[in-house]
Amino acid sequence: MTDRQRRAAIEGWYTLEKDQPHLLGSRCVACGTFFFPKLSTFCRNPVCDSTAFESVPLSRTGRLWSYTSASYQPPEPYVAAVPFVPFAIAAVTLEHEKMTVLGQVVEGCGVDQLQVGMQMELVVETLHQTEALDVVVWKWRPLGALTGSAS
Amino acid sequence: MSRDVVVLGVGMHPWGKWGRHFVEYGVHAARAALADAGVEWREVGFISGAATMRCGYPGYVAGATFAQALGWQGAEVNTSYAACASGSQALAAARAKILAGDCEVALVVGADTTPKGFLAPAKGYRPDDPDWVRFYVGITNPTYFALYARRRMALYGATEQDFTAIKVKNAAAGVHNVNARYRKAFSADEVMSSAMVADPLRLLQICATSDGGAAVVIASAAYAKRLGVKRPVRIAAISTVTPRFASGEVEMPDIATDSAVAAEAHSFRASIALKAYAEAGIGPEDVSLAEVYDLASSMELDWYEYLHLCKTGEAEGLLRSGATAIGGRIPVNPSGGLASFGEAVPAQALAQVCEVVWQLRGAAGARQVKKAKVGITANQGLFGHGSSVLLKR
């Protein structure tokens, strides 16, 4: 397969490296709270007055807090393949940031391959395609699994 | 006591998929509640509407829309929008007006006409709106319900049979409710053989969206006394708290929780009823029945714990003991719940209040909870909205 051009589904939320991509968050320089998506205005910690943030890549790995599937086709703006291909969804807790982030699970990995507490890692994979390019998004996959690496 | 605000009347338009204008349901419910109260519309000093976002401008100004439909009579007006908690906020506004001494009797109304299928966000490319982003990446409302359900299975040993048992229990109660959309008993087999929507949740364990309307007439204790009402149901507390930072659970429509690096993680849903109990000086041990938001059957288990009807991790045991069915120690969703109604967003929190009022009056017929003295409602929805109403008689 020739390499198709890729574009982020949501600009600025994650890096696009095929190897070891990151979610892009921000961190309050005063209280240390992380934010995803990025925050650049006022810290949401009610005891912190800060308006200064630094951009930070978030941890690439975390523990599976819970998971489910999208067995029915979601409504727009989701762009579904024809026919619709069900996918799994993961909520992954990042230990360092003490936050849980949702995302699709990579293609080919169903709920039967998931277990609460297992280690997951971040990848970037196609969300949907246009004629010219692949529109890519962050997804989760079991750490060390071989599925979903090609995109 | 001067802080007493009483419920004089309640009324509903039956839930369904009628496809008519929401104002018709609201006015039907309002007229039923006024008749139940024995209060003329022209006596009402404050009308408080719960807004709907799906029916155009009249829905955004629901209070005035209902007032016009009932006939302009100069009452002061309010409209509240707070997703699932809209009805409770509209009720809280009316109660505050009475407590402030600004009016003696108020009418609270919520009604909705809903589209078919999944609730979807506003259109356009809008990456700044978390509600838009999550739908774009394929995360629907049942996704969140299912994440909580799967977490319960892993932590507390909940089973698909438990989720099914809740649907079966609530459907059995709903059979006896003339205002319910689905007045049909379901067997466990029927539930378990329905299509998987969001693993582990199946179609018959997830609530539909419905059309419907509900209304409540409330008044000062002095007004009720002048009317000669004996032993009215009283509003003991209303909670409309926001979450506390850091919110530690993934909440619709967010993609991520707060980071709990600088502040302790809190559970929003667990905080909602605590404020109501504290305000009323009533404890969970005093509660006779509860109406909770079973958006998915599995979430009823979470609510047992959030209402402190049992300890964390013991909800499955409480369900399996039969305590939460009609005839049990603490019946939950004797109305039939969302399982039997489907959700009509701005009407639902008021429908919960209607059911508790009928139960406390001993007027709930075949679904009557024996010796009901105190009832609590609870719900939670998009963007940090949640509410709980405590009623007593």
Same domain, A51 and A88: no
Would A149 be classed as within a structural domain?
no
Q: Provide, as residue numbers in chain A, all residues whose Cβ is less than 8 Å from the Cβ of B267.
A: none
Torsion of Cα atoms, B4 then B88 then B273 then B329, to 10°: 80
Same domain, B106 and B70: yes
pLDDT in tens, B306-323: 999 999 999 999 999 999
Q: Identify the band that residue B393 occupies on the pLDDT scale cut at 50, 70 and 90.
A: very high
Same domain, A53 and A71: no
Would A151 be classed as within a structural domain?
no
Same domain, B67 and B183: no
- In this prediction, residue B123 carries a pLDDT of 80
Same domain, B180 and B45: no
What is the amino acid identity at position A8?
A: A
Same domain, B216 and B269: no
Same domain, B309 and B249: yes
pLDDT in tens, B37-88: 999 999 999 999 999 998 999 999 999 999 999 999 999 999 999 999 999 9
**Mean pLDDT, chain B, whole residue set:** 96
Structure tokens of B30? 């309002």
Q: Is A112 exposed, middle or buried (0-12, 13-18, 19+ CB in 10 A)?
A: exposed
Same domain, A93 and A34: no
Q: Is A49 exposed, middle or buried (0-12, 13-18, 19+ CB in 10 A)?
A: exposed
Q: What is the mean pLDDT of residues B17-46?
A: 98
Q: Is B294 exposed, middle or buried (0-12, 13-18, 19+ CB in 10 A)?
A: buried
Same domain, A70 and A52: no
- Which residues have CB under 8 Å from B313's CB, separation 6+? B155, B156, B305
Domain count, chain B: 2
Would A109 be classed as within a structural domain?
yes
Coil, strand, or helix at residue A69? strand
- Which residues have CB under 8 Å from B184's CB, separation 6+? B171, B174, B175
**Is B139's CB within 8 Å of A87's CB?**
no
Same domain, A51 and A75: no
**Is A100's CB within 8 Å of B250's CB?**
yes
Domain count, chain A: 2
Same domain, A38 and A69: no
- In this prediction, residue B259 carries a pLDDT of 98
ipTM of the complex in this document: 0.94
Would A18 be classed as within a structural domain?
no
Chosen for mutation from B129, B133, B134, B136 (greatest number of chain A CBs closer than 10 Å) is B136
**Is A98's CB within 8 Å of B132's CB?**
no
- In this prediction, residue A146 carries a pLDDT of 60
Structure tokens of B318? 């409480």
Comparing A114 with B117, which gets the higher pLDDT? Answer: A114
Same domain, A71 and A113: yes
**Is B137's CB within 8 Å of A103's CB?**
yes
- Which residues have CB under 8 Å from A14's CB, separation 6+? A8, A21, A22, A23, A24, A122, A124, A137, A138
Would A95 be classed as within a structural domain?
yes
Would B123 be classed as within a structural domain?
no
Query: Among the residues of chain B, which ranges form H helices?
Result: 22-37, 57-60, 62-70, 86-99, 130-136, 141-156, 160-174, 188-192, 221-227, 268-280, 297-306, 315-320, 337-341, 345-361
Same domain, B321 and B197: yes
Looking at the predicted structure, is the pLDDT value of residue B119 above 70?
A: no
Contact by Cβ (8 Å): B55, B69: no
A:41-60 residues touching chain B, CB 8 A cutoff: 44-48
Same domain, A33 and A96: no
Same domain, A118 and A70: yes
Same domain, B112 and B171: no
- In this prediction, residue B116 carries a pLDDT of 75
Same domain, B230 and B240: no
Would B328 be classed as within a structural domain?
yes
Looking at the predicted structure, is the pLDDT value of residue B118 above 80?
A: no
Q: What is the mean pLDDT of residues B224-244?
A: 96
Would B187 be classed as within a structural domain?
yes
Structure tokens of B103? 């009016």
Residue B260, domain CATH: 3.40.47.10
- In this prediction, residue B1 carries a pLDDT of 45
Q: Which residues pair with B387 in a beta bridge?
A: B379
Would B122 be classed as within a structural domain?
no
Would B142 be classed as within a structural domain?
yes
Dist. CA B387–CA B273, nearest whole Å:
8
| Per-residue pLDDT tens listing for chain A (151 residues) | 557 899 999 999 999 998 999 999 999 999 999 999 999 999 999 999 999 999 999 999 999 999 999 999 999 999 999 999 999 999 999 999 999 999 999 999 999 999 999 999 999 999 999 999 999 999 999 997 765 444 3
Same domain, A113 and A49: no
Same domain, B328 and B285: yes
- Which residues have CB under 8 Å from B79's CB, separation 6+? B48, B49, B50, B51, B60, B61, B62, B63, B64, B90
- Nearest CB to A89; choose among B132, B139, B265: B139
Same domain, B187 and B326: yes
Query: Domain span at residue A97?
Result: 5-13+59-142
Among B136, B83, B99, B155, residue whose Cα is nearest residue B305: B155
Dist. CA A119–CA A116, nearest whole Å:
9
Q: Provide, as residue numbers in chain A, all residues whose Cβ is less than 8 Å from the Cβ of B260.
A: 98-99
Among B50, B130, B51, residue whose Cα is nearest residue B94: B50
Dist. CA B109–CA B327, nearest whole Å:
31
Coil, strand, or helix at residue B273? helix
Burial B26-38 (b: 16+ CB within 10 A, else e): bbbbbebbbebbe
> What is the dihedral sign for C-alpha B8, B275, B111, B142?
negative
A:15-34 residues touching chain B, CB 8 A cutoff: 28, 31-34
Would A118 be classed as within a structural domain?
yes
Would A19 be classed as within a structural domain?
no
E strands within chain A? 5-8, 24-28, 34-35, 53-57, 61-70, 87-94, 99-105, 119-129, 133-142
- In this prediction, residue A4 carries a pLDDT of 86
- In this prediction, residue B384 carries a pLDDT of 84
Same domain, B338 and B259: yes
- In this prediction, residue A145 carries a pLDDT of 72
Chain A nearest CA to B271, separation (Å): 17
Same domain, A75 and A137: yes
- In this prediction, residue A1 carries a pLDDT of 52
Would B321 be classed as within a structural domain?
yes
Give the single-character DSSP code of A58.
Answer: P
Dist. CA A52–CA A50, nearest whole Å:
6
Would A52 be classed as within a structural domain?
yes
- In this prediction, residue B382 carries a pLDDT of 83
Among B287, B292, B326, residue whose Cα is nearest residue B309: B287
Query: Domain span at residue B63?
Result: 5-116+211-235
Would B300 be classed as within a structural domain?
yes
Same domain, A65 and A52: no
**Is A28's CB within 8 Å of B127's CB?**
no
Same domain, B12 and B141: no
